[in-house]
Amino acid sequence: MVLLKPEDDPNFRELCERASKEQDHETLMQLVRQINEMLKQKEKHQPQRPGLEGENQKQSRPANVLARA
């Protein structure tokens, strides 16, 4: 089975686009929860890389990723 990256999933892209334009706070929060759930599912199915757990993972990221976090 091939798992799509969330950013390649049309539903993920649609949720992100809707969230970026949403004016209602409650609806925005619902969209963000759905986006977070999709990201958690991706993380759950992603194999762990040795040595990159917890705080070490943040420190091991390339500088361009840290700038966006």
User: For residue 29, is it left (φ>0), alpha (ψ between -120 and 50) or beta?
Assistant: alpha
pTM of the entire predicted model: 0.57
Q: Does 15 have pLDDT greater than 60?
A: yes
In this predicted model, which residue has the larger pLDDT, 5 or 44? 44
Cα–Cα distance, 12 to 35 (Å, whole number) = 7
Contact yes or no for 3/45 (Cβ under 8 A): yes
Q: What is the domain partition of the chain in residue ranges?
A: 7-68
Q: Does 57 have pLDDT greater than 70?
A: no
Q: Which residues contact 32 (CB under 8 A, 6 or more apart)?
A: 19
